[in-house]
Amino acid sequence: MLPTKPKIKQKQSVLIIGAKGMLGAALCDIFSSYNVLDWDKEDCDITDKISTQKKISASKPDIIINAAAFTDVDGAEKDKDSAFRVNGEAVGNLADAAANIGAVFVHYSTDYVFSGVNPIGYAENDAPGPALSRRSDSREGGPLNIYGASKLLGEENLRACALARGTALKWYLIRTSWLFGPHGKNFVKTIYGLAGKNDELRIVNNQHGKPTYTKDLAQATKEIINSTLTSGIYHVTNETMSGGITWFDFAKEIINSAHFATKIIPVSSAEFPRPARRPEFSILINSKLPPRRMWQEALREYIRLLLSGKDK
């Protein structure tokens, strides 16, 4: 349990940006007892600094949660400018807009800000390495791909704004990884779909991470906002037994939970070359928050939704 703030009688208003995305939709559910403003790209393009700041100043929410992002990891290699604008530049502008109206600002980042060479994983205060060099070929530190570099620029812009605005900005930067949940494409849904049509699947077994159910991440976000925790970086994922799991482990559990007979074969990522390099060990260590439930339990809950046809 986190230490909680005294309850405020008046209903608080929360602006959820990227509300139609996978995490945004889970946030809308979890915050349903608040006055929710749910914006997505057609309501407010966060790369348009002036109109975004105007809209935010006019709405004056108590809390701003930014779940909007350019999340196509391979697509970002081709469309670098869009990735850096949405994941990098817009974040500093949103933080500034939050400081202007005294709103709490929550933003999400990713395990892919790390190079993934450390098999133990990365804690909140570990330095990811240089972002502004926009390297995509590094083994010594820093993100391995454009998506990671653009998200790291977002982290840097948020921290620069926090430094400049001091106590005017209350902020939480939540890093997470391997999201699954309703409302969007995700690994669980992909494997579930493929397992129904194939006797055998070949799945990468040399990338390690921690799966995270969007419902649990949204709940953790609400608890953090209602706590007395100080501004800073937090890591939220579902728990794994020790270290992370591989995509192969993840797929095996999906297939067992959904009762498919599909055979899965562990393979190296070299067998599936993709435009963006992925880190080998992008394991987020949580040293600040109470642990969430185990990933298998969260997965079983989501698989029940898939089996009941409630997430197509």
* Positions marked active-site: 147
Q: Look at the block and give the residue holding tokens 């993709």.
A: 274
* Long-range residue pairs from 32-37, CB within 8 A, at least 24 positions apart, any chain: 34/63, 35/11, 37/13, 37/61
Q: What six digits make up the tokens of 120? A: 């133990």
Distance between first and last Cα of the chain:
34
- Among 23, 64, 201, 276, interactor with ligand NAP by CB under 6 A: 23
Residues 211-227: b if buried by 16+ CB within 10 A, e if exposed: bbbbbbbbbbbbbbbbe
Tell me the closest approach of the beta carbon of residue 53 to ligand NAP, in angstroms: 13
Q: Look at the block and give the residue holding tokens 């129904």.
A: 196
Q: Which is nearer to ligand NAP, 82 or 168 (CB)?
A: 82
Tell me the closest approach of the beta carbon of residue 217 to ligand NAP, in angstroms: 8
Task: Please give the single-letter amino acid code of residue 221.
Answer: T
Which residues 249-278 are close enough to bind ligand NAP by CB under 6 A?
Answer: none
Site string for ligand NAP, 57-86 (x = CB under 6 A): ----------xxxxx--------------x
Q: Which is nearer to ligand NAP, 47 or 93 (CB)?
A: 47
Tell me the closest approach of the beta carbon of residue 10 to ligand NAP, in angstroms: 28
Q: What six digits make up the tokens of 132? A: 């502004």
Q: Is 171 in the site for ligand NAP (CB under 6 A)?
A: no
Residue 32's alpha-carbon distances to 56, 58, 126, in angstroms, are: 20, 22, 35
Q: Is 124 in the site for ligand NAP (CB under 6 A)?
A: no
Q: Is 146 in the site for ligand NAP (CB under 6 A)?
A: no
Q: Is 98 in the site for ligand NAP (CB under 6 A)?
A: no
Binding site for ligand NAP (CB under 6 A): 18, 20-24, 40-41, 45-47, 67-71, 86, 108, 110, 151, 176-179, 184
